[in-house]
Amino acid sequence: MISERMGPLVENNSAIRTMFEEGKRMAKIYGAEQVYDFSLGNPNVPAPKEVRQAILDVLDEEPSTFVHGYMNNAGFEDVREAIALSLNQRFGTNFHQNNILMTVGAASGMNVILKTLLNPEDQVIVFAPYFLEYNAYVRNYDGRLVIVPPDTRDFQPNLQEFEKRITEKTKAVIINTPNNPTGVVYSRETLEKIGEILKKKQEEYGGAIVLISDEPYRELAYDGVSVPFVTKFYDNTVVCYSYSKSLSLPGERIGYLLIPDELTDSSQVFGAASIANRVLGCVNAPSLMQRVIKRCLNAAVNVEAYDRNRNLLYRSLTEYGFCCIKPQGAFYLFVESPEEDEKKLCEVCKKYHILVVPGSSFACPGYVRISYCVSYEQIKRSLPAFRKVAEEYKL
């Protein structure tokens, strides 16, 4: 009954989800406290109190038919203007409401912009390791994903391999910084070089190549690291932002696309993206959440809680002999597997009730992803189990 396109998606149903089910099953057998589930990227830090207050205030102060009504497919004008001004204040940019298109989170933002841009067989370049959902997003519009292999020394994008893979069929390049699954923040130098390479290739092939910066983790950065603002390095940039992690609202489905004036055919792209939002069935981003976001532009989750988790986990795992680079952002640790087949490491971890995700789920075998958006207590309780895994490998 189901379509041919859905068949493979059903079969490959994300390893992360399968793991989630496994976590629930194990919790029933051993008790929730004895299972250390590091598999999902579901924020455990609560949404800031401003969000709750804003929901109440919107419902009390704004007319119900307005709050719950349809609006422009791009979103409420005043909300978009407020976001543009807030970006301008933070990054010294010059955006306005017609650069901001409200979306149903980053997943939807990515689909909207890919639907807007791609013709069948257009190529979209991604840097491994990457969020594997991009495969489905690109395939939704008959695009072809082209994968740049990782530079495992520091997990900055491998620019030599990148340049080799750009062709006249390249329509877009997706980056994600701070990165899921490595936690790496792409440096200013990396972004400058990506911009230079793309400018050169655009001239060579005579068509626009759009850099799509997927940024759900922008606000989660540590050690005073600043996440460079990507539109500064290359004109043909679209930013896909989400409040799922920055305000811990993943179930509320709210984010935006930033389509700057500098983008080739910017207003045409903006108009088409608004229509893509409609015809993909979103119609518009959730209206109550749009109203809430306008009131919460200066709110933030407690990033220190993630930082504390990061430090404890990184310090402990490296002390036990595991190798990994210290992440500067997001809430993931990408740990090198002591044996080549990292799925076997996942099995060994499972023996000690630890759930982690194989790197092959991010097109980067030989590593595992540990999500530390869990309680500090869970991390503390899990440490003896991690130590046993290290001992089993004689690290």
CB of 34 to ligand PLP, least distance (A): 26
Tell me the C-alpha distance between 387 and 141, whole Å: 45
Is the omega angle on the peptide bond into residue 250 within 30 degrees of 0, that is, cis?
no
Using the minimum distance from each CB to ligand PLP, give the nearer residue, 214 or 342: 214
Least distance from ligand PLP to the Cβ atom of residue 378, Å? 19
Closest among 294, 244, 243 to 77, alpha carbons compared? 294
The answer to whether residues 259 and 87 touch, using CB atoms and an 8 Å cutoff, is: no
Tokens 């292999």, residue? 149
| DSSP code string of 78-89 | HHHHHHHHHHHH
Residue 246 CB, shortest distance to ligand PLP, in Å, is 10
73 binds ligand PLP (CB under 6 A): no
41 binds ligand PLP (CB under 6 A): yes
**Any contact of residue 111 with ligand PLP (CB under 6 A)?**
no
Least distance to ligand PLP, CB of residue 313, Å = 18
> Do 292 and 51 touch, CB atoms closer than 8 A?
yes
Q: Which residues from 170-199 bind ligand PLP, rule CB under 6 A?
A: 176, 180
Residues in the chain: 395
**Does 216 engage in binding with ligand PLP (CB under 6 A)?**
yes
CB of 248 to ligand PLP, least distance (A): 11
Site for ligand PLP in 250-269 (CB under 6 A): 250, 255
Shortest Å, Cβ 110 to ligand PLP: 7
- 322 vs 314: CA distance, rounded Å: 9
Kindly determine how many residues on this chain lie close enough to bind ligand PLP according to the rule CB under 6 A: 13
- Decide: helix, strand or coil at residue 252: helix
C-alpha separations of 257 from 57, 105, 281, 329, 348 in Å = 26, 9, 17, 21, 41
Closest to ligand PLP by CB, 127 vs 322, is: 127
- Write the interaction track for ligand PLP spanning residues 89-108; mark x where CB under 6 A is met and - where it is not: ----------------xxx-
Binding site for ligand PLP (CB under 6 A): 41, 105-107, 131, 176, 180, 214, 216, 242, 244, 250, 255
